[in-house]
Amino acid sequence: MRHKDNKMLELHTGAKKRDVYIRQLLTNLVKNGKTTTTPKRAKVLKSEIDSFFAKLVSMNKKLAAADAKRESIRYIKSIIYGEAEGKKVLNVLLPKYIEAGSTSSFVADYKLGFRVGDGVQKILLKLL
């Protein structure tokens, strides 16, 4: 039995390529508010974005205001590519999630049908 091998979370790239690819998808999702991808990638991206925002929300609840902002900026810079996208997370998305009291479910997924070229199912991920 292979309990440690989760085939659904594999994207079949190298370890560094996988992290960079997930960070690019996450940045694209933050920048546009939505993105279209395959089911496997959508599942991985959904778990990553949920853990990303959950950590930011919990960080802002636990720490003092000045410390929370400094640590949030540090964490956002380590994950998100681009300064404009990082500012959007800090100034627009994070206050909205803190005000709503959300600790999970930051992304909704919708099935869109199948791609024309290879027939793979398309999933739309949208920030709530």
Q: From CA 8, how far away is CA 17, in angstroms rounded?
A: 17
Give the predicted TM-score (pTM) of the model: 0.83
User: Is the residue at 76 inside a domain?
Assistant: yes
Q: How confident is the model at residue 9 (pLDDT cuts 50, 70, 90)?
A: low
Residue 108 has pLDDT above 90, yes or no: yes
Query: Is residue 1 a part of any domain in this protein?
Result: no
**Does residue 51 surpass a pLDDT of 90?**
yes
- Is 53 part of a structural domain of the chain? yes
89 burial type by CB count under 10 A (0-12 exposed, 13-18 middle, 19+ buried) = buried
What's the structural domain count of the chain? 1
Return mean pLDDT, the chain.
88
pLDDT classification of 96: cutoffs 50, 70, 90? very high
pLDDT of residue 76: 95
Residue 73 lies in a domain: yes
pLDDT tens track for 66-90:
999 999 999 999 999 999 999 999 9
In a domain, 8, yes or no: no
CA distance 91 to 59: 15
Q: Is the pLDDT of residue 101 over 80?
A: yes
Query: Is residue 62 domain-resident?
Result: yes
Q: By the 8 A CB rule, do 80 and 27 touch?
A: yes
pLDDT of 125 over the 80 cut = yes
Query: Distance between CA atoms of 81 and 65, rounded to whole angstroms?
Result: 24
Residue 44 lies in a domain: yes
What number is the average pLDDT over the span 56-72?
A: 92
pLDDT of residue 16: 73
Q: What is the DSSP string of 78-124?
A: HH--SHHHHHHIIIIIHHHHHHHT-SS--EEEEEEEE-TTT--EEEE
8 has pLDDT over 60 = no
- Residue 113 is part of a domain; what is its CATH number? 3.90.1030.10
Is 49 part of a structural domain of the chain? yes
Q: How far apart are CA 36 and CA 122, in angstroms?
A: 7
Domain coverage including residue 87: 13-100+107-127
DSSP string, 40-65: HHHHHHHHHHHHHHHHHHHHHHHS-H
